[in-house]
Amino acid sequence: MPTDVENWKSEVYGNEIREHLFRFAEEGYDAIPDDERDAWFERFKWWGLYHQRNGQEGYFMMRIGTPNGVLEPGQLRVVGEIANEYATGPGTNPIFGDAYADFTTRQSIQLHWIELSDVPAIFEKLEANGLSTQQACGDSWRNIVGNPVAGKDGQEVVDAWSVIRELNETFKGDDDHSNLPRKWKVSVTGSADGSGQGDINDLAFEPAYKEIDGEDVVGFNVRVGGGLARNEPRFARDIDVWVRPENVPAVAGGLSALFRDNGDREDRYNARIKFLVDEWGAEQVRETLQEEYVDFELHTAGRDVREEYTYNTGEGERNDLVGVHEQRDGKYFVGLNVLVGRMGAADVLDLADLADEYGSGEVRLSQRQNVIVTDVPEADLDDFLAEPLFERYSPEPSPFMRGSVACTGTEFCSLSIVETKNRQVRFARWLKENVDLPDDVEEFHIHLSGCTASCAQPQIADVSLRGMKTRKNGEAVEALDVGLGGGLGEEPQFARWVTQRVPADEVPGAIANLIDSFAAERDDGESFRAFVDRHEDAELDAFVEPEETDYEDPMLHNTKMTWYPYAGEDGMDAAPPTPADD
């Protein structure tokens, strides 16, 4: 039997949701019939709107999908202006203030406290500037990711940016692909650094060479069925297909249609294509694609460049794109660290000005929640880097600042078990003050997700933290499970969950003790990931050693049961009324 969501989708879904959204915006939030809320909130996601959690009735998270994280000149300013004008609500964040934008792990942008009545005006402004929320959430093609400096990167093997643009134009708003069994996440990477993180997407195109008629042709190998959610992480599987850049849309559309027709619509837990690949095997995926979904002969896989991958691998150069890097055209791109991906609206506007003044005005977003200013001429680099804004968004941050990624958490997300972003900021600051890594270790990735959905991609970090609960002195407190040694690269590896339910206030001490043991017991020059690799879970569990320190955690209580964790009066009965229509 199809699920409720499938029934709702078969009634109204895709582009047509927009007219209803605008009608509700016009008539007011209360015009949504009480017995249709679950249905409409599910549908609104397709247009990038996610109802915030209990206690924040009538407020929405809005996700703007920026393909490959590219913000064309002027677009960052538009985002800053919208954040400034509309992304404020009854709650003030003690670290980030009142209006801010979140840069996400899939190169998108999220705004919070959006009211339904403002949606038409926001859409109008976004769309007038070439931006959109279409299919940013919901069961369809999500924002396409890749190496954020595609088209400019000296390490690029094949031009991915033109491919991504074409996929985006083809599959955003295409009714044939607008109602899939579940989300569909695509990555197209053209560089040899692995920064598109294809392995954790439903569909990945990765650079590869194929010998055709005696000549080496550059194109992409295809992998299918990656994803991190629900305690069932999978890396995408090699389906033994190589494709020319111009044939990517046909193969991608074929696979999305294959998923549309064969994915499980009766059980949403089993719906992602990763489970279909489990069931069928890569070979059957390939055969079905060939026989039913493309009308040309597929090539077998070509020679990939995976052994050159560095991004998020835990060793070597270029684990992220922070810092100053030369572009192919001799100009520079500068990766700036945005701690947990959140930037105040005023800073967003300042950054937009600096990008204009020193670069082309273009800005790009990475999958490590950071921003990159492109096209800075060499002669202007020193002045650019001396700008005071970069004291807070540094191109040369401490490893603990640089390595921090955190999801939304109980602040807004209805799934979360614990507070995340502000906690990760406190963790990073404490670690920076109190812990030294061995001198030759320059990067250390700590990812914090509030639940098993894994939006912060915890399983591919050195230290993975995931929201849990435990009792401490008899009281229920927020806790974190600790995993170690995850990373991407030629041979990607998920973190192993070695220590469970560490009360959140003991986590910084646990990480400090772990790093002490690593420093004391590592082989010469050994990376943390390699160190974890050669130890048993029980040995690692012993290294973790939770401990109270002078770190204080103001959010140890059950933040899920508050209407807003940082409010003075945070109880559900103090929740604000739904916003009035204005």
> Which residues here bind ligand SF4, judged by CB under 6 A?
407-409, 413, 415-416, 449-451, 453-455
Nearer CB in complex with another protein: 477/512: 477
Residue 475 makes CB contacts below 8 A (sequence gap 6+) with none
Question: Counting contacts by CB under 6 A, is residue 104 touching ligand HEM?
Answer: yes
Question: Counting contacts by CB under 8 A, is residue 326 touching another protein?
Answer: no
- Determine the length of the chain: 582
Residue 496 makes CB contacts below 8 A (sequence gap 6+) with 483, 484, 485, 532, 537, 540
Nearer CB in complex with ligand SF4: 274/466: 466
What is the CB-side half-sphere exposure of residue 193 using CA atoms within 13 A?
Answer: 22
Question: Counting contacts by CB under 6 A, is residue 305 touching ligand HEM?
Answer: no
- The window from 240-248, 282-290, 355-363, 449-457 that contacts ligand HEM (CB under 6 A) reads 449-457
Looking at residues 466 to 495 of the shown chain, list those that interact with another protein (rule: CB under 8 A).
Answer: 467-471, 476
Q: How far is the CB of 454 from ligand SF4 (least distance, A)?
A: 6
Contact pick of 138, 190, 219, 227 for ligand HEM (by CB under 6 A) = 227
DSSP 170: H
Q: How far is the CB of 136 from ligand HEM (least distance, A)?
A: 7
Question: Counting contacts by CB under 8 A, is residue 34 touching another protein?
Answer: yes
Question: Counting contacts by CB under 6 A, is residue 200 touching ligand HEM?
Answer: yes
161, 144 in Cβ contact below 8 A?
Answer: no
| Residue 326 host element (H or E) | strand 323-326
Residue 558, phi then psi, degrees to nearest 5: -80, 85
Question: Counting contacts by CB under 8 A, is residue 137 touching another protein?
Answer: yes
Binding partner of 210, given another protein, ligand SF4, ligand HEM, none, CB within 5-8 angstroms per partner class: none
Query: DSSP string covering 65-131, please?
Result: E-GGGEE-TTHHHHHHHHHHHHS--S--BTTTBS-EEEE-TTSEEEEEEEEGGGHHHHHHHHHHTT-
Question: Counting contacts by CB under 6 A, is residue 56 touching ligand HEM?
Answer: no
Contact pick of 97, 269, 292, 534 for another protein (by CB under 8 A) = 269
Binding partner of 469, given another protein, ligand SF4, ligand HEM, none, CB within 5-8 angstroms per partner class: another protein
| Residue 364 host element (H or E) | strand 363-365
Closest CA relative to residue 61, chosen from 115, 15, 18, 107: 115
426, 551 in Cβ contact below 8 A?
Answer: yes
Binding partner of 501, given ligand HEM, ligand SF4, another protein, none, CB within 5-8 angstroms per partner class: another protein
Per DSSP, the three-state class of 468 is strand
- The window from 37-45, 85-93, 205-213, 422-430 that contacts another protein (CB under 8 A) reads 37-45
Nearer CB in complex with another protein: 110/147: 110
Radius of gyration of the chain (CA): 23
Nearer CB in complex with ligand SF4: 455/575: 455
Binding letters toward ligand HEM, positions 106-125, x by CB under 6 A: x-x-x---------------
Question: Counting contacts by CB under 6 A, is residue 229 touching ligand HEM?
Answer: yes
- The window from 87-95, 101-109, 385-393, 492-500 that contacts ligand HEM (CB under 6 A) reads 101-109
Closest CA relative to residue 218, chosen from 305, 329, 328, 306: 305
3-state secondary structure labels for all residues of 427-440? HHHHHHHHCCCCCC
Question: Counting contacts by CB under 6 A, is residue 408 touching ligand HEM?
Answer: yes
Q: How far is the CB of 200 from ligand HEM (least distance, A)?
A: 5
240, 300 in Cβ contact below 8 A?
Answer: yes
What is the CB-side half-sphere exposure of residue 13 using CA atoms within 13 A?
Answer: 23
Question: Counting contacts by CB under 8 A, is residue 1 touching another protein?
Answer: yes
Q: How far is the CB of 408 from another protein (least distance, A)?
A: 12
Question: Counting contacts by CB under 8 A, is residue 183 touching another protein?
Answer: yes
Q: Kind of pairing, strands 203-212 and 215-224?
A: antiparallel
Per DSSP, the three-state class of 268 is helix
Q: How far apart are CA 412 and CA 420, in angstroms?
A: 10
Question: Counting contacts by CB under 6 A, is residue 301 touching ligand HEM?
Answer: no
Which residues of the shown chain bind ligand HEM in the complex (CB under 6 A)? 50, 61, 104-106, 108, 110, 143, 200, 227-229, 407-408, 412-415, 453-455, 457
Give the residues lining the site for another protein (CB under 8 A).
Answer: 1, 3-5, 34-38, 42, 45, 50, 54, 137, 182-183, 229-230, 267-269, 271, 414-415, 417, 451-453, 467-471, 476, 500-501, 558, 560
